Amino acid sequence: MNDDEIIKRKVTIRDIVNILNRPYKVKRIRLSKGAYNFLPKKALNTLNKMKINIEIIELKRGPGVKVDREKIAMLYKSDVNAYEISRRLKIPLRTVYYHIKQIKKDENGYVLKQTQGKGI
């Protein structure tokens, strides 16, 4: 039997009651950080009194990256322009610009402000 529940969305009192009425005893509830922020304080106090542990888990948001950023970085550092990187890797030009910006952010800790008229 499962002794824990994973919740990724906002939680209401009704949701908590449904979890507690399961045919098995719930010992632990695992919440995403966003769901925990919306957990009513009364529900939190009630769960603590019932000795149900609440854990906050980190979840990755959005779909995974489908582009190999290392290839983009290698080509960019070898002075290949964004258009050529886009053509070679068969990915949209806007995606190349996005990843170049992220590469610069990783290197510097911040993004340098570009002068107008110059690309990334």
Residues of the chain with pLDDT under 50: 1, 112, 114-118, 120
pLDDT score for 72? 92
Residue type present at position 21: N
**Model pTM?**
0.46
**Same domain? 35 vs 75:** no
pLDDT at 96: 94
Count of helices and strands (H, E) across the chain: 6, 3
Q: What is the pLDDT of residue 114?
A: 47
Decide if 116 is inside a domain: no
Q: CA 70, CA 81: separation in Å to the nearest integer?
A: 15
8 plus 52 within the same structural domain:
yes
Secondary structure (DSSP) of 63-82: PPP-S-HHHHHHHHHTT--H
Contact in structure between 38 and 65 (CB atoms under 8 Å): no
Instruction: Flag whether 115 is in a domain.
Output: no
Q: Do 8 and 46 sit in the same domain of this protein? A: yes
- Cβ atoms of 31 and 57 closer than 8 Å: yes
pLDDT of residue 8: 73
Number of domains comprising the chain: 2
- Report the half-sphere exposure of 60 (CA within 13 A, side-chain side): 4
| Domain-located, residue 16 | yes
Q: Strand, helix or coil at 27?
A: coil
Q: Which domain holds residue 91?
A: 69-108
Side-by-side strand order, sheet with 4-7: 4-7, 28-32, 53-57
Nearest to 38 by CA among 6, 13, 3, 4: 13
SS3 label, residue 89: helix
| pLDDT score recorded for residue 116 | 46
Q: Is residue 46 domain-resident?
A: yes
Please check whether residues 8 and 51 belong to one and the same domain.
yes
Q: What is the pLDDT of residue 109?
A: 64
